[in-house]
Structure 1
Amino acid sequence: MKILHTSDWHIGKVLKGQSRVAEQVAVLAQLVEVARAERPDLVIVAGDLYDTAAPTPEATRLVTRALTALRATGAQVVAVGGNHDNGPALDALRPWADAAGVALRGSVRDTPDEHLVDGVTDGGERWRLVALPFLSQRYAVRATEMYELTAAEANQTYADHIGRLFRRLTESFTEPDRVHLVTAHLTVVGAMAGGGERESQTVLGYAVPATVFPTNAHYVALGHLHRSQQVPGPAPIRYSGSPLAIDFGEEENHPSVTIVEVTTSTAAKVRQVPITAAAPLRTVRGTLAELAELAPPEGWLRVYVRETPRAGLREEVQALLPRALEVRVDPELLAAASRTRAAPRAGRSPRELFGDYLESREPEADDVRDLFDELYEEVGG
C-alpha cells in the first residue's frame, strides 16, 4: 500500500504580524496535487492542523476543504489532533468528517476502539491504523501525583502512560496479512526539533522513548516536530515535518510530505516530495550600505543590521527591504559592543551608569538623558 504522511499545517499562523493565508492555501493545494499524482491508498495528517485552539472561520474552512479534497483523490484520510488543536472542537466536527469519509480523532478517548481505523486498499491489502491524538502531561499524570513527584519521575510517569496506551491499542497487531500502522502527535527522545516549535511544548516532560512503539508496526507516522526526519527505533518511525516553514527558526528546513510504500512482507520505502508553494524564510546581515547593495532576496526576511541602535533604524531597513518582517541589531555586534563597554560599577553615579546604557542604545537621545536627570533630582539624587 502507499501512504501520504503529512503533519503540522498550522493553518492560521501569522508571522510577525504578516498573514500567510495565501501561502497556506497554496501549500494545501500543492499537497492535494501531490496526492492526485501519487494516488496513495491512505493519507495521514498527524496533528496540528491549526495554529491555535480557537481557529478563525477562514482557517476552519481551509482545513475542512483540504481534508475533503484529499478524500476526493480516492485515498482514505485519517487526521488526529495536535497540541495546538482544540481536541473537543475537532471531535465536534466528527459528524461532518464521518459524512465526508474522513476519520477525525481530536481527543484521547477511554474506548480503545475509537483509536483503531481499519481499511482495505483497492488492491485488496488490509490495514489497521492506531490513531492517537496529542495527550497533555497534565492529563496523563494526575495533579495529586505531580505535586509529589520530581520532574524526572513525572516525565517517566508520562512516558510509561503513553507506553501502556500503545501496548493496549496495538494488541491486535498480530494478523500476518494486515499492514499495521501507528500515527501520533508527540516528541520522541533523540529527535531533532525543527526550530519553530514552542519550547514549552517540546520539553522532555512530553518526550517518550522510541521503545513505546511496537516492533511489529510496519510504519509509525508522527507529528509535532517540524523537521522531516527518521527516528531510530524498533519500527520505521518518521516525522513528516511541516509543509511550510512556520517561523525563522525553520529557514534551513526543507518543507515536504512523505510518501511511504509498504506491504506486510516488505520494509517501508520512504521518500520525500518537496512542497515549494510557500515563500521561503531567509536571514540577511549587513550595514545599511551593505543591505542597500543586495538584490532583493526572495521570501520573507529577518534582518540582522550591523548598525548602532537608534530610533528609526527599523524603518530605514524596511525602506530598503520591504519584505523584512523582523529587524534586529545583529546580536554579534551587541555582544562585541557590550564587551568593549564593560566598566566597573563601583564608585560610579546612577547618571553615569544610565548614560553608558543610553549610549549603547540611543546615542542621540538627549531628551531621554534630560528626563532621567529630572526624575533623579525629584527622588533626591
Structure 2
Amino acid sequence: MRILHTSDWHLGRSFHREGMLEHQAAYVDHLLDVVGRERVDLVVVAGDVYDRALPHVDAVRLADETLARLAASRARVVLTSGNHDSAQRLGFSSRLIDAAGVFIRTDAATVGTPVLVDDEHGEVAVYGIPYLDPDAVREPWQLPTRSHEAALDEAMRRVRADRSRRANGTRSVVLAHAFVAGARPSDSERDISVGGVSLVPTTTFQGVDYTALGHLHGRHTLTETVRYSGSPLAYSFSEADQLKGSWLVELGAGGMTTAEFVEAPVPRRLARVRGTVDDLLQDPRLKEHEDAWVQATLTDATRPLQAMERLRARFPHTLVIAFEPAGAAPHTVPVARPQGRSDHDIALDFVAELRGGPATESESALLQAATEACCDDPDFDVLVSTAGTEGLW
C-alpha cells in the first residue's frame, strides 16, 4: 500500500499579510498530481486543515474542492482535526462523506475505531486521532493527570485494545496531532502546552507500523516509523531553510518498507538578510534574493528614514524589517512619567530613542500639534466655570 502523508495545510492563512490561498490551491494541484503519478492508495492528513476554527468562506471552498477531487481520485483519504480546526465544523456530515471514500475523524470518542482498507497483503487499520485537548478529555476519559501525554496514552490504549481483537498480520497506521519529543518547532505553530507541558514521547506510538504526525511545520524523522510531514508551505521566516512536501510511504506485508520525501512547489523563496541599508542595497551577493520574500534586519547606527521604500527598490517583496543597531546598548523601558516633562517632550524622546537621532523640525511641529489635539478639551473650562471643581469629581 502506498500512503501519502501530509498535514498542516492551514487553508486561509496569510504570510505577513500576503494572501496564500492561491499558493495553497497550487499545492492541492501538486497533491493530486502525486496521487495519480505515484499510484497512491491512501492519503492521510494529520490535522490543521484550516488556520482557524471559523475559516473564511474562500478557505472552506478550497477545502470542499480538494476533498471532492480526492474523492474522485484513486486514493482513499483519512483526515483528522488539529488544534487550529473546529472539530465540530470540520467533522460535519462526516458519516455521509465516508461513503465517498473520504474519512474525516474529529471525535475523540471514536479514537479506537479504525478506517479499514485492504491491499494484496490483507487489512490495514487506520486510526485517526484528532487533536486532544487535555481539559476536554480529562473527565470523560478519567485521565490521571492533565497533560497531552496522558491524553495520547489513553488514545493509544484504545487503539491497542482494538488491534488486539483483529487478526494477526493486520497492519496499523496512526494519525496524531501533537508535539512529540525530538522535533524542533517553528515560530508559526500555536503553543499547545498545558501547564508548561506539551511534549509526548515517541514511545507512545510504539508498535505502530506507521505514525503520521501533524502540528510542527518542519519535516522530522523521529524514528523510522514516526514522522512529521511538516506544512506544505512556509508560514514564518523561521522556516526559510525547511524543505516542504509530504512523505510517500510504502507499506508491505510486514509493515513499513520505504519512505520517500516528495517536495512541494515553492511559490516564492524566503530570505533573511542583515546589514546596513546601504550594504543591503549594494551587496552583489544578495542578487539571488531580489525575487524572494525578505526579512531584513537593519544594523545602521540610526534608524534610516523610509527604510521599507528604499529596500523595496531592490527587494520588492520585503515584508518585515527589524532594527538592531550594531553595538547599541539594550533599550530600557521607562517605568514612570518623568516629572516636569510635557507630552511633546516625551514624544520627542521616544523618536530619538527609537531612531537613534532627534526629530526634524517638521516632525517636531507635527508631534506638537498631535499632542495638543489629544489633550485639547474645549468643554473642560466651561465645565469648571459653571459646575466648579467639586461638581466635576
Whether the 8 Å contact between 2:48 and 2:82 is mirrored in structure 1 is: yes
CA contact (8 A) 1:28 1:66 kept: yes
Unaligned runs of 5+ in 2: 377-393
Task: For residue 162 of structure 2, give the secondary structure of its aligned residue in structure 1.
Answer: coil
Partner of 1:323: 317
State how 1:270-309 maps to structure 2 within 5 Å: 270-293=259-282, 294-295=286-287, 297-307=290-300, 308-309=302-303
Structure with more relative contact order (C-alpha pairs < 8 Å, separation 6 or more)? 1
Instruction: Kindly state the Cα deviation for residue 260 of structure 1 after the two structures are TM-superposed.
Output: 0.8
8 Å CA contact 2:47–2:215 kept in 1: the answer is yes
The structure-2 alpha-carbon separation of the partners of 1:246 and 1:372, relative to structure 1 and needing over 3 Å to count, comes to closer
Question: Is 2:70 the counterpart of 1:70?
Answer: yes
TM-score, normalised with respect to structure 1:
0.82
Equivalent residue number for residue 2 of structure 1? 2
SS in 2 for 1:73: coil
C-alpha contact (below 8 Å) 1:219/1:268 kept by paired residues? no
Q: Distance in 2 between matches of 1:2 and 1:237?
A: 16
Query: Conserved in 1, the CA contact under 8 Å of 2:126 and 2:174?
Result: yes
Q: Deviations over 1:44-84 (max 9, x none)?
A: 00000111111122111212222232333311110000011
Give the letter for the 1:217 counterpart. V
- Given the superposition, is the C-alpha separation of residues 265 and 19 from structure 1 closer, same or farther in structure 2, using an over 3 Å criterion? same
Q: Sort the Cα spacing of 1:65 and 1:22 in 2 relative to 1 into closer, same or farther, 3 A.
A: same
**CA-atom RMSD, angstroms?**
3.4
Matching residue of 2:132: 135
Paired letter, 1:259 = L
Larger-gyration structure (1/2): 2
- Correspondence for 2:307: 313
Letter in 2 for 1:36: G
Within the candidate set 196, 199, 214, 1:207 is matched to 199
Deviation at 1:319, TM superposition (A): 3.8
AA paired with 1:172? D
In the alignment, the residues of structure 2 paired with residue 236 and residue 71 of structure 1 have an alpha-carbon distance, to the nearest angstrom, of: 27
Is this contact kept in 2: 1:194–1:253, CA < 8 A? no
Residue 89 (structure 2) pairs with residue 89 (structure 1) = yes
| Equivalent-residue separation in structure 2 for 1:298 and 1:315 (angstroms) | 16
Distance 2:290 2:115 in 1: 46
Partner of 2:352: 359
Letter in 2 for 1:304: T
Q: 2:218 aligns with which of 200, 224, 227?
A: 227
Deviations 1:151-199 (A, max 9, x none): xx633xx422321221112223243322111111111123211332123
User: Is the counterpart of residue 160 in structure 1 residue 153 in structure 2?
Assistant: no
Asked if 1 retains the 8 angstrom alpha-carbon contact of 2:277 and 2:307, the reply is: no
Quick one: distance in 2 between partners of 1:63 and 1:261? Answer: 26
Could you say which residue in structure 1 is the equivalent of 2:117? 119
1:339 Cα offset (Å): 5.2
Query: Given that residues 137 and 205 in structure 1 are in contact (C-alpha distance below 8 angstroms), is that contact kept between their aligned partners in structure 2?
Result: no
What is the aligned partner in structure 1 of residue 380 from structure 2? none
Letter in 1 for 2:149: A
| Uncovered stretches (5+) of structure 1, i.e. residues with no partner | none
Q: 1:200 to 1:33 in 2, by over 3 A?
A: same
The 3 A distance-change label for structure 1 pair 193 and 203 is farther
Provide closer, same or farther for how the CA distance between residues 353 and 162 of structure 1 changes in structure 2, counting only shifts above 3 A. same
Partner amino acid, structure 2, of 1:223: G
Is the Cα–Cα contact under 8 Å of residues 26 and 277 in structure 1 kept in the other structure? no
- How many Å separate the matches in 1 of 2:100 and 2:114? 18
* 2:179 is the alignment partner of 1:187: yes
Which has the larger displacement, 171-180 or 236-245? Answer: 171-180
Cα offset for 1:10? 0.6
Describe the shift of the 1:230–1:358 C-alpha distance in structure 2 as closer, same or farther (beyond 3 A). Answer: same
Q: Assess if the C-alpha contact under 8 Å between 2:117 and 2:123 holds in 1.
A: yes
The residue that corresponds to 2:107 in the other structure is 107
Q: Taking structure 1 as reference, are residues 341 and 170 closer, same or farther at Cα in structure 2, changes over 3 Å only? A: closer
Q: Could you say which residue in structure 2 is the equivalent of 1:246?
A: 235
Within 2, Cα distance between the matches of 1:203 and 1:280? 37
Q: In structure 2, how many angstroms separate the alpha carbons of the residues matched to 1:354 and 1:161?
A: 52
CA distance in 1: counterparts of 2:235 and 2:228, whole angstroms: 16
Change (3 A) 1:203 1:191: farther
Structure 2: how far apart are the matches of 1:25 and 1:258? 19
Cα displacement (A) at 1:223: 0.5
Output the CA distance in 2 between the equivalents of 1:55 and 1:195.
Answer: 21
Query: What is the CA-CA distance between 1:251 and the residue it aligns to?
Result: 1.0
Looking at structure 2, the residues matched to 262 and 154 of structure 1 have their Cα atoms a distance apart, in angstroms, of: 35
Q: Provide the rounded CA distance (Å) in 2 between the counterparts of 1:64 and 1:201.
A: 31
Which residue pairs with 1:55 in the alignment?
55
Which amino acid is the alignment partner of residue 359 of structure 1?
Answer: A
Whole-angstrom distance in 2 between the partners of 1:203 and 1:239: 24
Between the two proteins, the alignment pairs up a number of residues equal to 358
Contact 1:309–1:361 at 8 Å: present in 2 too?
yes
